[in-house]
Amino acid sequence: MARTRLLLPWLLAALSCLADSVISPPAPAPSRQFELGTTYKYSLQSDVFLNEAAPRPAGKTSKSVGYGLRAAAAVTCLWKSPQDPLNRLFKIELSQVHLTVVPADAPESGRSEHASQWDAASQLPLYVLQQSNEIVKVWSHKESPTSVNIKKAVASMLQYQLTPEDKQQVDVSGRCSVSFKTERNTIRKHKTLCTHPDKTQYFNPNHIQSPTILTKSTSLYELLPD
């Protein structure tokens, strides 16, 4: 019997933010990142796929199926410290949230929307306080934890830096090992080994029924000139 391997990165941690507008200039001008009072719009995409075990028997091809989350986000910088421009208060809003169900190899145009609770997702904002690019405080309205966590995932994407470093970082995925690498106007953030106080690995006494959960996320930031 073939064992199915479940690759289930935290949906919220794997969000890929594709900027619709310039969100930051190239180094060295960190003080001008996220202009005060300006709203930046993003397209959010997150996919979770169930992958068949590999290697497959000769003549058999593996398939990946799953679902995806699509949304539009707006990030506004409401306050910035005069002493340290990396100490900032953000407002995060979501709209046009919907679920899609597709094979992994289907193009974006071939994805179909699926009715879900996201069709009535709250558009109330989330407020996030950053100090030195690290989130230190979050304020939310009374809404579902899932809706709040999606907005926290957007906030997690705002935790990046212009210098290479390996460190521990806390975000919506929990405490993770994070590696920042920079090359010219590109920043790559690789996140692994996330542990969350509310989410633990489940093990079935019958090992063949225990999924293997791997968590990893890679975010690519491109710093564009004015």
Which of 159, 188, 210 is where one domain is finished? 159
**HSE, side-chain direction, 13 A CA sphere, residue 106:** 17
Q: Which token pair is 199?
A: 């989410």
3 belongs to a structural domain: no
Q: Which token pair is 220?
A: 């690519």
Whether 48 and 67 have beta carbons less than 8 Å apart is answered as yes
Question: 147 and 177, same structural domain?
Answer: no
Residue 142 CB: number of other CB atoms within 10 A? Answer: 7
Question: 139 and 179, same structural domain?
Answer: no
Phi, psi angles (nearest 5°) of residue 9: -65, 145
The residues pairing with 166 across neighbouring beta strands, listed in sequence order, are 179
Q: Which token pair is 179?
A: 């590696």
Model pLDDT, residue 16: 34
Question: 187 and 133, same structural domain?
Answer: no
Strand 16-19 and strand 39-51: the pairing is antiparallel
Model pLDDT, residue 81: 92
User: To the nearest 10°, the Cα dihedral for 163, 93, 42, 166?
Assistant: 20
What lies within 8 Å, CB to CB, of 169 at 6+ separation is 134, 159, 175, 176, 178, 191
Q: Which residue has the tokens 């953030």?
A: 189
Model pLDDT, residue 21: 30
Q: Which among 26, 54, 22, 45 has a CA at the least distance from the CA of 35?
A: 22
Question: 147 and 189, same structural domain?
Answer: no
Alpha carbon separation from 132 to 18, 84, 138, 153 (Å, rounded): 23, 8, 15, 18
129 belongs to a structural domain: yes
Question: 39 and 132, same structural domain?
Answer: yes
Tens digit of pLDDT at every position of the chain (226 positions): 333 232 223 333 333 333 333 333 333 434 357 889 999 999 888 877 776 656 666 666 666 677 888 899 999 999 999 998 889 999 999 999 888 876 656 666 667 778 888 887 788 999 999 998 889 999 999 888 888 888 998 999 889 988 999 999 988 888 899 999 999 889 999 999 888 766 666 667 777 777 766 778 888 898 877 6
Q: Which token pair is 26?
A: 């190239």
Question: 87 and 144, same structural domain?
Answer: yes
Question: 139 and 77, same structural domain?
Answer: yes
Question: 40 and 140, same structural domain?
Answer: yes
Residue 21 identity? S
Q: Range of 123's domain?
A: 34-48+64-159
Model pLDDT, residue 93: 95
Structural domain count, the chain? 2
